[in-house]
Amino acid sequence: MDRAQGIERLRRAALTPVDGGSLTVLRLLVGALLFVSMLRFVARGWVDELLLAPDFHFRYWGLEWVPVPGPILAYLLFAGTALAALGLALGWRPRLCAVVAFATFTWIEIVDISYYLNHYVFLSALLLTFALLPIDRRPLPAWVLWLLRVQVGLVYVYAGIAKLGGDWLLAAQP
């Protein structure tokens, strides 16, 4: 098999229609977890405590221009994220809901670097991927599932690399 045949074979495999059931489950779980997370932030008073009460926010370099929301906007961001997450979980216009959830959740996340959690970054990346991919089509081209698998795989690879330090290996410390 020459190079052109290999590329053509890969192209055909990538465009092969596949069942999107696993993506539907992923979308439902991501939406449901994000919805519950937003409700939890509001119910526990973390919106006020973490976002509104501090007089100073540690900003990400290059993202200082992103405004810290006031009380009304802060609660609108959490409500918008929750509603978009619910829509994502229920499958209502999933790409639109992914765009809204990505924009609102990422805004909340980048207001202060001290809020950083690696799974929040992964969630933002996953929401952006949902917004850009044809997740609302049935059947899906195989490359969509391949891309999501690569994205999840990269998280594990880099998590493993991060743990190669002496603190983790020798002292069992993060």
Average the pLDDT over 134-151 and give the result.
92
**pLDDT above 80: residue 174:** no
Per-chain mean pLDDT for the chain: 93
Determine the distance from the C-alpha atom of residue 127 to the mean position of all C-alpha atoms in its chain, rounded to a whole number: 4
pLDDT at 173 > cutoff 80: no
23-41 per-position pLDDT tens digit: 999 999 999 999 999 999 9
Does the predicted model carry a pTM greater than 0.85?
Answer: yes
CA 146 – CA 107 distance, rounded (Å): 28
Confidence (pLDDT) at 118: 86
Tokens in use for 64? Answer: 């200082």
Inside any domain, residue 8: no
Q: How many domains does the chain have?
A: 1
Confidence check: pLDDT of 92 > 80: yes
Asked if residue 160 is part of any domain, the answer here is no
Residue 155 located in a structural domain: no
User: Is residue 166 scored above 90 in pLDDT?
Assistant: no
User: Has residue 110 been placed in a domain?
Assistant: yes
DSSP state for residue 114 in the 8-state scheme: G
Radius of gyration of the chain (CA): 19
Question: Which residue segment(s) compose the domain that 51 sits in?
Answer: 20-138
Q: In this prediction, what percent of the chain has a pLDDT beyond 70?
A: 99
CA angle (27 as vertex; 67, 105 as ends), nearest 5: 10
6, part of any domain: no
